[in-house]
Amino acid sequence: GQLAVDVAEEENDVVIISTIAGAEAQTLEVIVHEDMLTIRGERKPPEGRYVYVHQECFWGKFSRSIILPFDVKGDLAYAQYQHGVLIVRIPKAEMQRRVPITVVDE
């Protein structure tokens, strides 16, 4: 199932926000590898034997990977899960400096 994410920027951090109602914290996995963030987990349906007339909610395992818009320090990332909302904060890496280009006439 597709997982909706918002990507925001603070002065020093990239912040990823995702609503994951129905998932228990122990099923969630957040992985940062270079400039890619992956969120995995599982949503368990409410208990009961329902005969659905209309169904939009996704239940079961999910995974979502996104390319981050900044270079980050993945080893310093941390996540918080509260009331069905996952917030991942990843410090930005120092911006790469532009290399000056010298034009040489031939």
Q: Is the pLDDT of residue 72 over 90?
A: yes
pLDDT at 62 over 90: yes
Q: Give mean pLDDT, residues 79-104.
A: 88
Q: What is the dihedral of CA 48, 54, 60, 65, to 10 degrees?
A: -150
- What local confidence, expressed as pLDDT, does residue 1 receive? 56
Q: Which residues contact 82 (CB under 8 A, 6 or more apart)?
A: none
Residue with the bigger pLDDT between 105 and 33: it is 33
pLDDT value, residue 46: 86
Q: Which of 36, 31, 55 is nearest to 45 (CA)?
A: 55
Query: Can you tell me the mean pLDDT for 76-104?
Result: 88
